[in-house]
Structure 1
Amino acid sequence: MRHIATDTESDAMDTAPVVIRQDQYETDTLAAQYCDAHYGPDHFDVANFPATCARICLELMEGRTKGAALDVGCAVGRGSFELARGGFERVTGLDFSTRFFRLAARMQEEGYLRFALPEEGEIVSFHEIGLVDLGLAEVRDRVAFFQADACNLPDKFAGYDLVLAANLIDRLYAPRRFLTTIHERMNPGGLLIITSPYSWLEEFTKHEDWLGGYRDAGEPVWTLDGLKEALATRFRMVGEPRDIPFVIRETRRKYQHTIAELTAWELA
């Protein structure tokens, strides 16, 4: 990732400053955070989250057919590119967010993104990130991005050997519908990989639709239990759950450190 300049650094240069128009850059706070999280440098020695998820997917796919993969809830797209680099012939990235979809598609089409990161108060820094810098440029033609609703996927999204749903499940309005229909999009023996910090909020999912994170007759119901119940008729769990940390940069002095749980499921 190339650091270009803060909006105050240019004024301090002895030579004529490079003119940087802020409208060339993605300045929405969440969009910038995700651009940095997907394509920027690691923070606090925590490995890049989408790249880590893709690496684990590829490890679990060892000896299996790597024809087509679906990265549902792909955000700005890093995981999709990593899956293509790992050998998938075709990778489809889907996200409900118009902004995220457009950023992922722009990266695929143009090979780079520009964004502005908050530093302190009104001060921002400008950055450019490119697929060439990450060794991902050669797989651009095997990745395609679309805007779609994970709970109501169009029929054309089908025939996948792998489905990655990274940090998606607790942001769906109908998570059980997704879990009980996703098999229709997969080839027999395909793998479903789910990661989530299980941070259920009613602004995304009605309480009665939560998979876990509540008490029933005084007993705690955990999301992992809800996943097992929803997937039991079609899938078997592969291996044990594992923790995957990730970091979201808010400003140069404020970061979110979160731990998602990753589970893998094989379609019967």
Structure 2
Amino acid sequence: MMDKTLVVSSSVAIVTTGIAAWALYKWFHTREILKTYTDKFSDLKEVQRQLFHHFGDIKELPQLRELIPKEAENYHVRLAQVCSDMCDRYEAKKTRVLDVGCRPGGTSFNLSTHLQKVVGTDISLYSMIVVGQQIKQFAEIGSSLSSEGGKHISHHCMRVPDKTLRERVIFWDEDVCALLYTCGKFNCVVVSNSLTHMHDPKAFLENIGLYVETGGLLIISDVYNWNNGPEEFLGGEGECLTPSILKKLLKPIWTLQEENNMSFYIPRCKRLAEIGNAHVTVWKRVENPEFPGQD
């Protein structure tokens, strides 16, 4: 008869090996998703496009000026103003705000005119955040834009608005899907066109309430351009759209206050631009959320 101890030990070894294999798979899978993001936003041409998107003036691209609707200009200025207005309207403090997926910091710097402390976070450290740090120090940065995707380029000076208070802004190289409790709490969290680039947006949405004070706001602005649909990353059965899934995920902790649309543009070359119409939703953190870490 086989030794029972040996059987149990073998079973434990198999289970442990299985768990380890699953953990290793998840690690590789997460790394590949993160690499996709960092590769995209570390590309020099993409950095230049994002710089123009965050700080550029459409007047410097006359071929596009005729095509870009007026309401798509100054997206980051307008988004920061919306955040300020929502804090006033729903009586959220203006002490500390987290700008998720800040890239070179257009929204972060504009938020500094409305809120006392701004934390911009992005995982593309050696591209976007470094540029943001340079802009914080000098208030401007020189950048190029490939005219036709090749060697012919135009040069531009990107500046933050004079009224911004750059000393209020700091940047973190941080994975918001796995925030640490040591980062403290915020009065407002802004997620601008970053939800679909997260490797685990569901974890972010389920846990971000732990880092927001009661009465604080979560403002999501996104075009929902998922690679394989929201159901792959957020869950949901049947044919689901992101807004309905967000309501299910956020409902225990957040209440939807209002929603609107906000247009923007990102230049691709001097004659081509990506125009988006972001869906902006405003959520308020409830007093007694049914999850660990409640106030």
TM bucket normalised to smaller: 0.7 to 0.9
Give the greater-gyration-radius structure (CA). Answer: 2
Partner Cα separation in structure 1 for residue 135 and residue 162 of structure 2: 13
Give 5+ residue unaligned stretches, structure 1: 1-25
| Alignment partner, residue 266 of structure 1 | 284
Higher strand share goes to which structure?
Answer: 1
How far the C-alpha of 1:101 sits from its partner, in A, is 1.2
Query: What does residue 3 of structure 2 align with?
Result: none
Q: Give the C-alpha shift of residue 122 in structure 1.
A: 2.3
Maintained 8 Å contact 1:173/1:206? no
Can you give the 5+ residue segments of structure 2 that lack an aligned partner in the other structure? 1-41, 59-64, 287-295
* Identity value in percent: 25
Residue 108 of structure 1, CA deviation: 1.1
Cα distance in 1 for residues equivalent to 2:49 and 2:93:
34
- The one-letter amino acid paired with 2:152 is I
In structure 1, the partner of 2:226 is: 200
Instruction: Find the aligned partners of 1:206 and 1:149 in 2 and give their Cα distance.
Output: 20
Return the match for 1:128 from 145, 151, 157. 157
Distance 1:27 1:165 in 2: 22
Paired residues of 1:33 and 1:248 also in contact (CA < 8 A): yes
Aligned equivalents of 2:141, 2:182: Cα separation in 1: 28
Distance 1:184 1:108 in 2: 29
SS at match of 2:176: coil
1:72 aligned to 2:119? no
Q: Using structure 1 for the length normalisation, give the TM-score.
A: 0.81
Q: Which of 119, 129, 136 lines up with 1:101 in the alignment? A: 129
The alignment yields a C-alpha RMSD, in angstroms, of 2.0
Match in the other structure for 1:224: 243
The letter of the residue matching 1:243 is: N
CA separation in 2, counterparts of 1:208 and 1:223? 11
Detail structure 1 runs of 4+ shifted over 3 Å in the superposition.
none
SS in 2 for 1:201: coil
Distance in structure 2 (CA, Å) of the matches to 1:186 and 1:206 = 24
Shift of 1:263: 0.2
TM-score by length of 2: 0.74
What CA deviation, in whole Å up to 9, does each residue of 1:193-252 have, x standing for no partner? Answer: 0011100015xx99632457xx71xxx20000110011010000012x211111110111
Structure 1 counterpart of 2:22? none
SS in 1 for 2:177: coil
Q: d(CA) in 2 for partners of 1:96 and 1:27?
A: 14
Counterparts of 1:115-264 in structure 2, within 5 Å, are 115-120=143-148, 121-131=150-160, 134-137=161-164, 139-202=165-228, 208-210=232-234, 216=238, 220-239=239-258, 241-264=259-282
Q: Pick closer, same or farther for the CA change 1:246–1:56 going to 2, 3 Å.
A: same
Q: Which residue does 1:38 correspond to in 2?
A: 54
Give the Å deviation of 1:174. Answer: 0.8
Choose between structure 1 and 2: higher helix proportion: 2
Amino acid at match of 1:125: S
Q: Is the 8 A contact 1:27 1:115 kept in 2?
A: no
2:48 and 2:116 map into 1 onto residues whose CA distance is 29
Q: How many residues were matched structurally?
A: 231
